[in-house]
Amino acid sequence: VQLQASGGGLVQAGGSLRLSCAASGFASDYQTVAWFRQAPGKEREGVSCIRSGSNGPMYADSVKGRFTISRDNAKNTMYLQMNSLKPEDTAVYYCAVRFNRVLAYMCLDPSSYVSWGQGTLVTVSS
């Protein structure tokens, strides 16, 4: 599995960015897709994920109402639309996938994934 994340950059607080993650193979084969982030000196944390067949995406409390995850299987790409960005959103953002559908409690747990993109840096200035 090869994942290529892009779309990061420098943005002022309150601004928006859209991250993309292009996947090798057929995106529809990935039953679980997710975004994570890691700020300097902190552990990697789950941001959002989608499990095929579930009721809807899952989000970390810190991003609910501001971030939206989506996927376009025809383009083999997943996205993370980030609005109302805050300085505390500054981090390297990673995409991750799994071929199987994980249990809900595993969806935002980084240890559930072995296939990762290279990361894209998001910097939010105050």
* pLDDT score recorded for residue 1: 83
Band (73; pLDDT cuts 50, 70, 90)? confident
Band (27; pLDDT cuts 50, 70, 90)? low
Residue 10 has pLDDT above 70, yes or no: yes
pLDDT in tens, 33-71: 999 999 999 999 999 999 988 889 999 999 999 999 999
* pLDDT score recorded for residue 95: 96
Q: What is the DSSP string of 5-68?
A: EE--EEEETT--EEEEEEESS-GGG-SEEEEEEE-TTS--EEEEEEETTSSS-EE-TTTTTTEE
